[in-house]
Chain A
């Protein structure tokens, strides 16, 4: 309660608006955290085993068991790592917002939050884009390089990968909104009396 009174005194007459903005930002951060965490988990648990009949010897079929895992493709590994780091960043920002109101470093708190948000946006965009193009090759193949498509055999793998990429793209758009809001917060920072 004492903290809220101090905040009201510092912000002067515009007391209620920054607080509702703070809750809006926090809600969007929670949704973005859920989106990137979903993308990480869905891709990390993406695995499909399939038994294919390769040849017939006489009347007994020779079966081969193939597994499709996300670790086989470096692009998907990057995707998992990037979304994991983005989820961690969002979690840290939520914690700092809720519990660390006094944390500051030479008045650079808002600037650091804005710059970290920008780097997270860059990271998510890199991961999502690499995974999208690898998934496109997996789905359509590449006739010029003689790369066969694999999605007709491993449908569940491809579906789950698609869901993860869509979740990551939603997280990317939300992170863009969050970055814009952080930058606005930085530019409209109330010039409170320091020291």
Chain B
């Protein structure tokens, strides 16, 4: 009964929703106590505004993905969904780019600015943040595939077939 096009779109949207949810949960629950030269401190995702931005952006997209899953096919709102997909892809790219920039400095440090890498003291935190970034990246690619698929379906009548 369900057309294969609709099934494929639904499957992709479910994968996107799942991976954004995983990214939010992994990043939000990442915290670890570590010692830094006999000073004990806790590394949380709220330490950097970049990670906070990542959590907020992916949470917004998770809610959006959840709502779109229940949209009936053939509704005129699908055009708005196409436009919103583009806007949210931009939001995702911006947030994952910022989080990756800060995570790269946290992992490798910046010797010229005397910024030491943090991952040596809190390895579990670093691994969980890496997992969140990987999930976020998969979500981003899924959303891009969805956007291209929607544009292809939308533009198909406009192609002048030879």
Contact = CB atoms under 8 A, between A and B. Distances in A.
Interface of A: 66, 68, 72-75, 78, 106-108, 111, 115, 118, 121-122, 125-134, 136-138, 142, 144-148, 150, 186, 189, 194-195
Given A126-B97, A142-B47, A144-B43, 4 more contacts: A126-B93, A133-B101, A134-B101, A136-B49
Which residue of A66, A127, A129 has the most chain B CB atoms within 10 A of its CB atom?
A: A129
Chain B residues touching A, range: 35 or more
Nearest to B151: A115
Interface string B61-87: 000000000000000000000000010
A71 B94 CA distance: 21
B100 A106 contact: no
Contacts of B93: 122, 125-126, 129
B115 interface: yes
Contacts of A125: 90, 93-94, 97
A108 B95 CA distance: 32
Interface of B: 36, 41, 43, 47-50, 53, 86, 89-90, 93-98, 100-102, 104-106, 110, 112-116, 118, 151, 155, 158-160, 162
A145 B160 contact: no
A74 B104 contact: yes
Most B Cβ at <10 Å: residue of A78, A107, A147: A147
